[in-house]
Amino acid sequence: MKIGAFICTSCNIGERLEISELEAAAQDQGAQFVASREFLCSKEGVQAINEAIKNEGLEAVAICACSPRVNWEVFDFGKVAVERVNLREGVVWSRFPVPGEGEESVDDTKEVAEGVTFKDELMSLAKDYVRMGVAKLQAYKFPEPYKPEEEISKTVLVIGGGVAGMTAALEVAKAGHPAILVEKEKELGGFAAKMKAQVKAEPPFDGITEPIVGRLISEVQGNEKITVYTGAQVTSIKGAPGLFTVTIKKGGSEEEVKVGAIVVAAGWKPYDASKLEELGYGKLANVVTNVEFEEMAAKGEIKKKDGSPVKSVLFVQCAGQRDENHLPYCSSVCCLVSLKQAKYVRELDPEAKAYIIYKDMRTVGIYENFYRNMQDDPGIFLTKGEIQGIAEEDGKLVVKVDQTLFGEEMEIPVDMVVLATGMVPATAEDPIIPLEYRQGAGFPELELFYGFADSNYICFPYETRRTGIYAAGAVHQPMTIFQAMEDATGAALKALQCLKAIEMGHAVHPRTWDFAYPEWDLKMCTQCKRCTEECPFGALDETEDGTPMPNPTRCRRCGTCFGACPQRIINFKDYSIDMVTQMIKACEMPEPDYGLYRVLALVCENDAYPALDMAAYRRINLPVAFRVIPVRCLGAVNVSFVKDAMSKGFDGVLLLGCKFGENYQCHFIKGSELANRRMENVAETLQQLALETERVTMEIVAIDEVEKLPQIMGKFVEFLQEYGESPFKGW
């Protein structure tokens, strides 16, 4: 390609760098056209670039100016490849000479080695970046949208016919797309259809109202764009987003349908109360669960097992919840449910009493109004406390409560005890998502999520680890009816966005602008299965002999397969092994024995690279020794990058990625974790080169841990100085 390099002289770049030397570096690397001017991002600057593209016939441009994370749309020149060379944040705003003892401040003329000034080192960094930018474009190939040969389905499958599932189906239909709704029960509605009432979801949020589920059922049944299967089950899901083939079994027959995306809204089930013998369930007749009590109330009668009226009810909050022996989490809605059910007791009999014993009363947000309203009812008694035991005496259940707000043990005789058992996602045990993927059915589980559909909640609130399949409602997390409806609306929107992305041929998320996808040179494949096993999203199937079978519409373009492949046969058109290798080779090494160190930093573009930019905005000083190459994810770092860097003469390699483990933050779930595992392979590579394994290290950094960066980078340079310069420097 014919490449042009444009160098900005504004934002301190022209003040601290020799622009003519940067121009020469770009030309030496192979740029056919080079120009510099102030404010490339201005209207006049962009116009000048466009004119040069037209007049010089440029097919690619290196914009040597500010970070690629800013002015993204400004430097969009249509069908012209663009590489952003970070001279502002990456060089002049983050590299400064360090004052020596007794010096208050120094300028760039400070000598840092014999005959070498800080300005020389700063220029060396800037020129390396310019050369790397041009080298990257020399290996660049234009991505082409992936267009499946098979017709893409615009239908959305919704699994589950409760309030979340019906809401999702209705939202899909309102957007003009057909929806298929599959419910395993004979009737729509789920648990909500068995409820007497629900807490109000409109101001002043202080009472209860008729369940909305009846209206939803009518709307679904009256919508011609929604096909409803009740008493049915999805038994197989094959294919990929836009191209799913789904088998639905109803009665003794099966039917195959084509769908483009899937919303899983299979709901929840109550925690198994038979495990709560210490609270009397299964032993004492009038100890029931909150679900059983709701069903009684819905029938209009709250009675003891012998049919006698109930005059007093005690509600035990967190029954089998927030307990490592049962459910370690809070189900969030149980406090509201018990307050609502206490109101039932009072409405049915104004003389009846309700007692609520809680660990903590959690009525989130505006629902505090409902809690306060119930506090004002003289027949409802609330206290913090621990249940010590429940026994039957003289036809009453006597509940012993300790650690109350009164500071003393209490014994409360009641007619009935209601256990507020928690919500367990329906997907935890049942085969709700029978995927016929190489990595198996269902969603991969992380212990942190206790069976709920895991995702990166902050960045991708409806996603699952299976592209094109979205979670809504209580399979996502415990929530109220109206929260579930809002959640389902979001999941439906994401499903429709997925269909649009597939139609256009680009990635679904998180790299939604990315038209490239991994391509295999299968002639050299050794069937090692690393790519198929390590893909975080199950994007790859395989043949019987282990040859990978890509599914591009499942792919999230993280590059984990690219990083895993020992044969280096997996590449993207705009992110290839050769491209990174050429960038590494474009760096110039100083002569040995001057004490001038060079460190390659392979940096995650999602957290660590933004943190580097933010350090620059604060003018935090970073070591000038580092050459940064942003990567899609640390999972996309191939061991060959390390080998190339060390062979080139780099003194060390630092990998900067997201947190992994229980509180993981990786956009691609386990990229940093995989990179950490691959350090064993890195150690083998270094041993082959007769280099110390400590010359390559990995550190985790969150996007907001800006202050950690100078410590991490500075300590690594100091560590390398103890080892000395690389023996490959100068070869």
Most confident of 298-302, 363-367, 583-587: 583-587
pLDDT value at residue 446: 64
pLDDT higher than 90, residue 403: no
CATH of 156-269+425-504, one of 3.40.50.720, 3.40.50.1950, 3.50.50.60, 3.40.50.300: 3.50.50.60
Q: Coil, helix or strand for 55?
A: helix
Query: Is the Cβ–Cβ distance between 524 and 569 less than 8 Å?
Result: yes
pLDDT tier for residue 445 given thresholds of 50, 70 and 90: low
Query: Token pair for residue 390?
Result: 């429940």
pLDDT value at residue 444: 77
Give yes or no for a cis peptide into 203 (omega within 30° of 0). no
The β-bridge partners of 313 are 354, 416
pLDDT tier for residue 60 given thresholds of 50, 70 and 90: very high
pLDDT value at residue 447: 60
Closest-CA residue to 409 (of 394, 434, 388, 424): 388
Closest-CA residue to 329 (of 239, 421, 193): 421
- pLDDT tens by residue, 146-175: 989 999 999 999 999 999 999 999 999 999
pLDDT tier for residue 460 given thresholds of 50, 70 and 90: confident
The amino acid at residue 224 is E
Q: Domain 272-421 carries which CATH code?
A: 3.50.50.60
pLDDT value at residue 455: 62
Please provide the DSSP assignment of 678-721 as one string.
Answer: THHHHHHHHHHTT--GGGEEEEE--TT-TTHHHHHHHHHHHHHH
pLDDT value at residue 661: 75
pLDDT higher than 80, residue 420: yes
Please provide the DSSP assignment of 61-116 as one string.
Answer: EEEEES-TTSSTTTT--SSSEEEEEE-IIIIITT--PPP-TT-S---TT-EEETTE
Indicate if 156-269+425-504 has the same CATH topology as 1-141: no
For residues 302 and 429, the model is more confident at: 302
Q: Domain 1-141 carries which CATH code?
A: 3.40.50
The residue-averaged pLDDT of 565-569 equals: 95
pLDDT higher than 80, residue 344: yes
Task: Give the percent of the chain with pLDDT over 90.
Answer: 85
Closest-CA residue to 418 (of 476, 501, 357, 377): 357
Task: Determine the Cα–Cα distance for residues 210 and 197; give it in Å rounded to an integer.
Answer: 5
pLDDT value at residue 666: 83
What pTM value is reported for the model? Answer: 0.92
Q: What mean pLDDT value characterizes the chain?
A: 94
Phi, psi values for residue 706, rounded to 5°: -65, -40
pLDDT value at residue 623: 97
pLDDT value at residue 667: 84
The residue to which tokens 């790859």 are assigned: 540
Distance of CA 42 to the CA centre of its chain: 35
Within 592-644, strands assigned E span 599-604, 626-631
pLDDT higher than 60, residue 457: no
- pLDDT tens by residue, 97-109: 999 888 888 999 9
- pLDDT tens by residue, 242-292: 999 999 999 989 999 999 999 999 999 999 999 999 999 999 999 999 999
The amino acid at residue 251 is G
Domain locations in the chain?
A: 1-141, 156-269+425-504, 272-421
The β-bridge partners of 675 are none
Helix or strand (DSSP H, E) at 343: helix 334-348
The residue-averaged pLDDT of 181-189 equals: 97
Query: Token pair for residue 402?
Result: 């300790």
pLDDT value at residue 456: 59
Helix or strand (DSSP H, E) at 183: strand 179-183
- pLDDT tens by residue, 204-222: 889 999 999 999 999 999 9
